[in-house]
Structure 1
Amino acid sequence: MSKNTVLILGAAGRAGQAFAQAFTQAGWQVLAQARKPLPATLTALPQVQALRCDATDSATLLQLAKQATGEVQVVLNALNPPYHRWEELLPPLAASAQSTALALGALLMLPGNVYNFGRELPAQLTLATPERPDTPKARLRIALEAQMAAAAAQGLDSVVLRAGDFFGGTGSGTWFDLALTAKLSQGDFVYPGALTHIHAWAYLPDLAQAFVQVAARRAQLRGHHRLHFAGHAVEGQVLLDTLQALCGRRLTVRELPWGLMKLGGLVIPSWRAVAEMRYLWDRPHQLLDGELRALIGTPPHTPLDQALRMSIPALQTAGIAQPHNTKLNAKISP
């Protein structure tokens, strides 16, 4: 078994849990930073050691990491503050992750997204696609990644693995569970955009495995690197058809009430932050992953129907979608 060690920041979150499970399955030791207690799925794993501290307290974080068993080869920043608090929290969280990785001499890894490409993002996104800081979140992400790149002069090795919207894993808080499948038990499919548009999705367990495979090649990642994870780039109609087949029933398509969200955003900051992202549903887009394939070979890719089948029960467990129809339950249970 490998003695490699990864420090995962935000390990109690949805992405952090998926990353921790993928790294342990690959034989890594995991230092799991979180402000709150880790979920039982992680505490039950002997390779996982909890580091209970605030991620912005870089001095304590570094001390705990150095006291833990094993030299840390990788720091994975899975921290994701609430949408409406990015301006306040994202810069200090990113700075702490960067300083910790630099002090440990570890590769810093970050899950990226498509925000960097701005409101007018083209249909195909490559590493050569211009980044446009024309939205608040685009400006923050571009600045964050630029700081990682600049730190290469200080000896920091880093990689951003950019992906589409998450689905799967344990927990809630994504477009998939808060919109698309939120009313699945009522026979409704809530879609934020045109069903004919391609949208970039990342099945979280696949993305987590890709991070493990990239981390295993850290010796080839000197300086700063960016990679794209293609995931599932599909039209809304394809998602609808696949979900209908899994559920064994027709679903009624409902539109997301963007107007109400924009109006409510005048008093509810989280609604305003979500409404700012409407452009992602007006612009068909997908990520091209040639550089990732050159590094690790064929990326992990669970077939869409299987990925959806595995995702919906996790949402049911979290109490988000509870189908009342026994036939529906039988159809979607793994």
Structure 2
Amino acid sequence: MTASNPTNADTDLPGTVLILGARGRLGQAAARAFAQAGWHVLAQVRPGGARAALPAIPGVWWMPVAVHDTATLAAQAHGAQVVVHALNPAYTHQAWRDEAPALMEAAIAIATQLRATLMLPGNVYNFGEGMPSVLREDTPQAATGAMGRLRVQLEQRLEAATQQGEMRAVVLRAGDFFGSGTGSWLDQAIAKDLPRGRITWPGPLDVATPWAYLPDLARTFVRVAQARERLAAFECLHFAGHHVTAQPWLQSFTAIAAEQGWLPPGRTLRVGRLPWPLLRVAGLVAPTFAALAAMRYLWRTPHRLDNTRLRAVIGNEPHTPFNWALRQALADLGLLTGATPRVALA
């Protein structure tokens, strides 16, 4: 369904959210989660795209408006109480330096115009290579890379924007995304050779790191949005997600590969290692590889996100059991045959 101008009755509903960058993985997951929770969802996308390519999601109105066109966005999103910043530049240092600050300014401008709460997905880049094993909201941020330093600056800019009292903001920090389609470590590296009985693991097999299953994270955005009036003008909350080593991944991959006929009886998955030195060399000519190579430390440094503060705000974090989350993520990639039940627990 596509509508650029919802009726006044629609926009007066108590629970209207504007999602910036709704065509992306997080944007679409958030659109679905808010709509399923009964919110009126206004989904901003770049103008000029093929409307036929936009999925028909009940309760979601697609808005083909440029994100920097604040006046048009504000007019069409009149009444929205929450804005989700799901905009992302290409994954290179240069693209982030050139585009991310402007995208943040655009999100702040529309949230200020609407006097809304702006919600931003954060990550662990802020803490740098010397980060401790447990990351809390008050853990000192000592970013050591270009992407991390920029993340810190963007969050500082967002906090400063709330000091005039015309908007509020929440940073919801999470680990690596998986699920809801392509564009993650799962499909680009880890499981791309799974149908051939092989996976590629980017780090030591015994180092535990945080992972965010996107449908769970999206439902958490909804729960935090519902609790926004109980928060400070600027708030940061940590989403724990799945804190796992490579072992649960290997166990689930092995079972799935056997079921799908990708592994002969009695055989085990082959585990390859990501060629980081080659990735670094490739980064000299391919900026995306350079940005990825700079994040190698995240795979070698055990860390987790403490969600104590989040649980105090929303109760138990939305949590799909890891095996089911991985199965659905692979199904979303079109890799699995047969039905995969969708399971989501509080």
Fold shared, TM-score > 0.5 on shorter chain: yes
- Structure 1 position 62, deviation (Å): 2.5
Distance of 1:42 and 1:30 partners within structure 2: 14
What is the letter of the counterpart of residue 20 of structure 1? A
Percent identity (aligned): 47
Distance of 2:80 and 2:283 partners within structure 1: 42
Distance in 2, matches of 1:88 and 1:107, equals 25
In structure 1, the partner of 2:25 is: 14
In structure 1, give the amino acid aligned to 2:195: S
Which position in structure 2 is the counterpart of 1:265? 283
How far apart in 2 are the matches of 1:333 and 1:48?
A: 25
- Report how many residues are paired: 318
**1:35-54 correspondence runs (5 A):** 35=46, 37=49, 43-54=55-66
Structure 1 residues 40 and 293, CA gap change in structure 2 (3 angstroms): farther
- Helix, strand or coil: the match of 1:83? coil
- C-alpha displacement of 1:163: 0.4
Unmatched runs of 5 consecutive residues or more in structure 1: 317-321, 324-328
Task: Give the superposition deviation at 1:221.
Answer: 2.1
Give the corresponding residue for 1:173: 183
Change over 3 Å in CA distance of 1:46–1:91 after alignment to 2: same
Cα distance between partner residues in 2 of 1:276 and 1:257: 13
Q: What is the match of residue 333 of structure 2?
A: 315
Residues 1:289 and 2:307 are matched in the alignment: yes
Structure 1 residue aligned with 2:75: 63
Judge which range, 176-185 or 51-60, deviates more: 51-60
Mapping 1:1-334, distance limit 5 Å:
3-35=14-46, 37=49, 43-66=55-78, 71-84=79-92, 85-155=95-165, 156-170=167-181, 172-248=182-258, 249=263, 250-316=268-334, 322=335, 329=337, 333-334=340-341
Instruction: State the Cα deviation string for residues 290-310 of structure 1 (Å, max 9, x = none).
Output: 000000000100000010111
Task: State the shift of 1:102 in Å.
Answer: 1.0
Measure the CA separation in 2 of the matches of 1:125 and 1:284. 11
Deviation at 1:64, TM superposition (A): 3.1
Residue identity in the other structure for 1:75: V
Deviations 1:70-114 (A, max 9, x none): x10100001111111111111000111011101101001011100
The more displaced of 95-104 and 238-247 is 238-247
CA spacing shift, 1:46–1:237, aligned 2, 3 Å: closer
Question: 2 CA distance for matches of 1:9 and 1:52?
Answer: 11
Taking a change above 3 Å as real, the CA distance of residues 200 and 80 of structure 1, as seen in their structure-2 partners, is same
Q: Is the 8 A contact 2:195 2:257 kept in 1?
A: no
Does the 8 Å contact 2:197/2:257 carry over to 1?
A: no
Return the offset for 1:65.
Answer: 2.2
Structure 1 residues 315 and 158: CA distance shift in structure 2, 3 A: same
For 2:217 and 2:137, the matched residues in 1 are separated by 18
Aligned equivalents of 1:39 and 1:132: distance in 2?
A: 43
Taking a change above 3 Å as real, the CA distance of residues 41 and 287 of structure 1, as seen in their structure-2 partners, is farther
Letter of the structure 2 residue corresponding to residue 202 of structure 1: A
- Distance in 1, Cα, partners of 2:333 & 2:147: 27
> Do 2:125 and 2:148's aligned partners in 1 also have CA atoms closer than 8 Å?
yes
C-alpha contact 1:20 1:42 (8 A) present in aligned 2: no
Counterpart amino acid of residue 45 in structure 1? I
C-alpha deviation, 1:119, in angstroms: 1.6
Partner SS state of residue 301, structure 1: coil
Contact 1:246 1:305 in 2 (8 A): no
User: 268-277 or 293-302: which moved more?
Assistant: 268-277
Structure 1 range deviating more: 1-10 or 133-142 = 1-10
1:263-317 alpha-carbon deviations (Å, 9 max, x no partner): 111111111111111111111111010000000000100000010111101112x
Deviates more, 1:112-121 or 1:41-50: 41-50
SS of alignment partner, residue 235 of structure 2: strand
